[in-house]
Amino acid sequence: MSDMHRKLDALSGKNRALQRVRKSGILYRGAARLLLADRMPQETVNVVPASELQVSSSSPQSSNAVQNQNESPSSSDLDILFQDTQDYEMDLGDSDNSALLDESDEEMSSDTDEDDEPDFARMSNEDCVRYWALAGNESNASIKMILRILRAKTNFNLPTDPIKILRTQRHPMRIHQLGNGKLWYHGIRRCLTVELRKHKTCPQPLLFDLSINRLPLRNRSKRQFWSILLKIVDQPNWPAMVVAIYSGTATPVSSEAFFRPMVDEIKELYVAKLVIDRTRFVVSLRAIIADMAARAFIEAVDSQAGTSPLIDIPNFDFYKDVITVDGLYQVDTGVTIELFDIWFRDVVGKEEAWILPAEILNRLEQQKFPVETKHKLRSFEDLSLWKSTDWQTFLLYASPVVLKGLLTEEKYKHFMLYFCAITILSSKQHKHLWEKANQKLRQFVGTFAKIYGTNAVTSNVHSLTNLYKQAVRFGCIGDYSSYSFVKKLDFLNNYLQSANYRGLEQAGRRIQEFESLNVNYKRQPFSEPVCKGKGQTVTLHVRQGLMLRNDNVNDWLITQENEVFKFVSARNCNGQVKIRGKLFSHIYEVFDSSSEILIFSAKMSELSSEEYELKCSDVKCKLVKVIDDIEEQNFVFFPLLSTLL
């Protein structure tokens, strides 16, 4: 056995997550890449125009770097590789989080690195250890070991019992038998009280949405959770909260028994109001959001009660306030995927598979998306691994360019009706166009059968005709989306040590432990534009949720005058931040009336060499740059809808 194999075999352990990471090869590719980076000379990074970047990528130096990367590490490097790999493992922890098993080695950089970190200097020693344990989903054995080390090596007055450091509730949880399953009701009052006490200013009146979801548990368990989650309206940065969880092997046997505790508490809060620290809050349910399976359970009439308990909720219209078209389920992972199935799915051997043209793969590989999209899109070759956020990013910011010329003219024009309508209904700034979006969706649905056949018209396609009514009643698509709720469900699933052994009790304990966590973050409420510099990289926080950086990806914006502007740098002038950058001499419409929804095309050759200055108030929104023709340096710019306020 070679020295290399002996060293790699030494990387063993009982951590299942790490074992799967090792099998996938991610661990070793990451370590090898870090080793290569350490060996290469450090150079100053300069921000250059895109045209120069294209030239440099094909230079001899670049090809040499690729050749060096493909070379096998020498035996003298094995010790370094072995040590780097061990260090890399130490950061993975014991969590079975699926994010660790992502096949993509490259992650999009995040602007929130430092600001979203806890301010440990302002936290007690016990709170710091508690945060480390909960954030890393550490086992009791790991917590006990670190407590012993800290007590032996420091003068910290810390408990020795992990239960005490986590503040795990010792009293029995109030769990009720419901058919063949169990129900834990945490409470709306409890959720709202814990969350509102974290904030200095709170909305009044207090509107909230509820989400009913079914969560199949991991580890091949037959058991599943049916959860009731709560989210406060118009507070996108506030988390979803758990009101109740049912655990069983099937749907709850009675909607009356499942919903009655929640309905009674809403009725009580509606009359008595919510009182927190002498402040009275008017509390009201705005909407209920659910996927198709949960919606069928919601709308089912209880066989014993003869009606749905949700009808008893005050100031709530059971027939209008249950969301029927959700951005996640009916749009991103609904109609969008169904269209891809029609276009590109075919039978290969005995199984169905996506057969994608090489051109579509090349076009997507060229694209890079801003940090606000949270990640880099996977390749189309990994289409079966795409998540809902991948489909959302593709639909809103890449699909018109990537699909152009690959569909027939009739199919492409038909798809553009869908794209334009979803884009318009995804922003309040396009509210004056919502009626036009309604017409486009009705045309899209009305001609769907003619283009693709009657059998292709699914319930998701039909449901699109209700989007306009929902927008008028509840706001743009993102205002009542399931994304924040699904994120909470993933969190619960990942923090279960075992799905089969007292999974409901585990979930309840973890929720209570996080509620007791007292964390001070470095970030402060946004008050004014902030500019930061690191080498030649300049980062400017224009307003809450809008960040610019001169990295050729996050440096595009559109002004209040609808000019496409490339951010170069920023300076402070008499207490006011000035934005410096370049303008295109000409911008063009991509399709008929694309300028109405702020979509433009431009040629890099028409970008001015002269720099101009803007005030932060001149910024309308950030733009997503999508490559249309890499050789001609033609680009299409889409508004980043989360920044369009």
Residue 637 has pLDDT above 90, yes or no: yes
User: Confidence class of residue 507 from pLDDT cuts 50, 70 and 90?
Assistant: confident
Convert the pLDDT of each residue in 156-194 to its tens digit: 888 888 888 888 877 778 898 998 899 999 999 999 999
User: Confidence class of residue 249 from pLDDT cuts 50, 70 and 90?
Assistant: confident
The owner of tokens 């801003």 is 370
Average per-residue pLDDT for the chain: 80
- Please give the structure tokens belonging to residue 632: 């001609």
Lowest mean pLDDT among 107-116, 305-314, 391-400, 462-471: 107-116
Residue 596 has pLDDT above 60, yes or no: yes
- Please give the structure tokens belonging to residue 485: 């709720």
Convert the pLDDT of each residue in 189-245 to its tens digit: 999 999 998 888 899 899 999 999 888 776 666 788 899 999 999 998 899 999 999
Convert the pLDDT of each residue in 80-130 to its tens digit: 333 333 333 333 333 333 332 333 333 334 444 455 678 888 888 888 888
User: Are 618 and 549 spatial neighbours (Cβ–Cβ below 8 Å)?
Assistant: no
pLDDT for position 58 = 34
Residue 397 has pLDDT above 60, yes or no: yes
pLDDT for position 374 = 67
CA angle 41, 46, 50 (to 5 degrees): 120
Question: Could you give the CA distance from residue 503 to residue 10 in angstroms, rounded to a whole number?
Answer: 34
Helices of type H across 406-447:
409-424, 434-446
**Full 3-state SS string of 511-532:** HHHHHCCCCCECCCCCCCCEEE
- Per DSSP (E only), the strands in 153-291 are 175-178, 181-185, 206-216, 224-232, 241-248, 274-276, 279-281, 283-290
Residue 384's CB is within 10 A of a number of other CB atoms, namely 8
User: Confidence class of residue 448 from pLDDT cuts 50, 70 and 90?
Assistant: very high
Question: Could you give the CA distance from residue 570 to residue 60 in angstroms, rounded to a whole number?
Answer: 34
- Please give the structure tokens belonging to residue 221: 């368990």
Which residues, 6 or more positions from 373, have their beta carbon under 8 angstroms from its beta carbon?
Answer: 108, 389, 393, 397, 624
- Please give the structure tokens belonging to residue 313: 């909720």
Residue 562 has pLDDT above 50, yes or no: yes
Looking at the chain, the whole-number percentage of residues with pLDDT higher than 90 is 46
What pTM was computed for the model? 0.79
Question: Could you give the CA distance from residue 196 to residue 385 in angstroms, rounded to a whole number?
Answer: 37
29/43: higher pLDDT:
29
pLDDT for position 166 = 86
Strand, helix or coil for residue 500: coil
Lowest mean pLDDT among 176-180, 299-303, 357-361, 450-454: 299-303
Mean pLDDT over 312-324 rounds to 92
